[in-house]
Amino acid sequence: MTALLRVTSEDVARVLSCIQPTGSVHLGNYLGALRNWVTGQHDKDVFHGIVDLHALTTTTEPRVVGQATIELAAMLFSIGLDPEVATVFVQSHVPEHSQLGWVMECTVSFGELSRMTQFKDKSAKREAEFVSAGLFTYPALQAADILLYDANEVPVGDDQRQHVEITRDIALRFNHRFGETFVVPEAVTPAAGARVMDLQDPTSKMSKSTETENGCVYLLDDPASIVKKFRRAVTDSDADVRYDPKAKPGVSNLLDILSAATGSAPSALVEHYSQYGPLKQDAADAVIALVEPIQQRYHELMADRGELERLLRVGADRARSVATATLRRTYDAIGLLPC
Ligand code: ATP
Ligand code: LTN
């Protein structure tokens, strides 16, 4: 029997993307993904999850994830997600994620999971540390996050394209096996800022799990630290300002950041600089201008935890109403015995 696709009442694209509550939000997260979450929230149907269950893949201490979750919620509202229009929810508040996650694990192969670069990178970085099975099966849970909401678009940074690809493969395989059930999603990456690199090591992506503290700029950094981090950014031995990500990754990264922050193309920006110093200063100033209003709203919101919790309950209710229907449709498509 073929299950019918759920027909949405409005003819608008459904958008879903998520972020893990691990550490503070950095410039890479913001320029690569979060900023795109805010654009279009008024003409698309947007769902955004704080994926605390994903964070368990690397969590071993009590109470850390909960605190990070509330802080991240405040950050998401501070960057401009409007709780009246965007559905912002916490993954563990919607049990269907875990339930569909198991179905996804049974629809993806061991070989496909073995090819995921995020798993290879993260497990290699953990060296002698505990590598959980969840770190390996993580993309199955991510596929559940996406497919539960019939998402057409998934705005993510470049590093997540592979996880969206595997989600597409899973959706197609499931639909082939059990009949049309899932919408096949597409990754959406920004033109500028899709991969912000570490300021100290411009061949690695800026990441919160980075070793070099000065390489990562956090949205909550004070202006003086931002200036310091940009001033110390690694460039090259020759003093030539050129946009060439392969030969000059450090300078090109600064141009990319400035481009993402100002909206001008790197090729146009490069004309204005003959030395690294002014480029670093302008990149720092542009980033400070970007984060200042966000920081102000963040501190206001964090002062009212009750209100943040209320907003997350509203988000969870809206998310559940969609997720319950998709899980039901999935079980029906497989033909599990109804209870
Ligand atoms: P970790 O460093 O622990 O891997 P992270 O910094 O990558 O974490 P996530 O929660 O995994 O953060 O990612 C949230 C979003 O930010 C994802 O869509 C991801 O693609 C995007 N993102 C993360 N780092 C970058 C980066 N350096 N440049 C552009 N986008 C990024
Ligand atoms: N794997 C992503 C976070 C993530 C996600 C998702 C992104 C979990 N579920 C669903 C988009 C859609 C990461 O590590 N950045």
Per-residue HEC secondary structure of the chain comes to CCCCCCCCCCCCCEEEEEECCCCCCEHHHHHHHHHHHHCCCCCCEEEEEECHHHHHHHCCCCCHHHHHHHHHHHHHHHCCCCCCCCEEEEHHHCCHHHHHHHHHHCCCCHHHHHCCHHHHHHHHHCCCCCCCHHHHHHHHHHHHHHHCCCCCEEECCHHHHHHHHHHHHHHHHHHHHHCCCCCCCEEECCCCCCCCECCCCCCCECCCCCCCHHHCCECCCCHHHHHHHHHCCCCCCCCCCCCCCCCCHHHHHHHHHHHHHHCCCHHHHHHHCCCHHHHHHHHHHHHHHHHHHHHHHHHHHHCCHHHHHHHHHHHHHHHHHHHHHHHHHHHHHHCCCCC
Residue 209: per-residue pLDDT: 76
Which protein residues touch ligand 2 with a CB less than 6 Å away? 16-20, 51, 54, 142, 145-146, 154, 156, 160, 163
Residue 220: per-residue pLDDT: 98
Give which of 77, 97, 107, 113 is closest to 146, Cα–Cα.
97
Region(s) of the chain under CATH 3.40.50.620: 9-194+305-334
Residue 238: per-residue pLDDT: 84
Region(s) of the chain under CATH 1.10.240.10: 213-299
**Quick one: tokens of 24?**
């503070």
To test ligand 1's pocket by mutation, which of 29, 158, 197 has the most ligand atoms within 8 angstroms of CB?
A: 29
9-194+305-334 under CATH 3.40.640.10, yes or no = no
Report the separation in Å between the CA atom of 289 and the middle of ligand 2, taken as the mean of its atom positions: 28
For residue 128, what pLDDT band results from cuts at 50, 70 and 90?
Answer: confident
| Mean pLDDT for the chain overall | 95
Report the separation in Å between the CA atom of 160 and the middle of ligand 1, taken as the mean of its atom positions: 8
* Residue of 84 and 210 predicted with greater confidence: 84
Q: What is the CATH number of domain 213-299?
A: 1.10.240.10
Is residue 8 pLDDT above 80, yes or no?
Answer: no
- In percent, the amount of the chain with pLDDT more than 90 equals 91
Which active-site residues does the annotation give? 122, 205, 208
pTM for this entry: 0.95
Report the separation in Å between the CA atom of 29 and the middle of ligand 1, taken as the mean of its atom positions: 5
**Atom 2 of ligand 1, nearest CA residue:** 207
For residue 296, what pLDDT band results from cuts at 50, 70 and 90?
Answer: very high
Report the separation in Å between the CA atom of 159 and the middle of ligand 1, taken as the mean of its atom positions: 7
Distance CA 289, CA 223 (A): 9
Residue 3: per-residue pLDDT: 40
To test ligand 1's pocket by mutation, which of 57, 75, 159, 253 has the most ligand atoms within 8 angstroms of CB?
A: 159
* Residue of 60 and 326 predicted with greater confidence: 326
Residue 40: per-residue pLDDT: 85
Main-chain dihedrals φ then ψ at residue 123, nearest 5 degrees: -70, -35
| Residues 133-160: tens digit of each pLDDT | 999 999 999 999 999 999 999 999 999 9
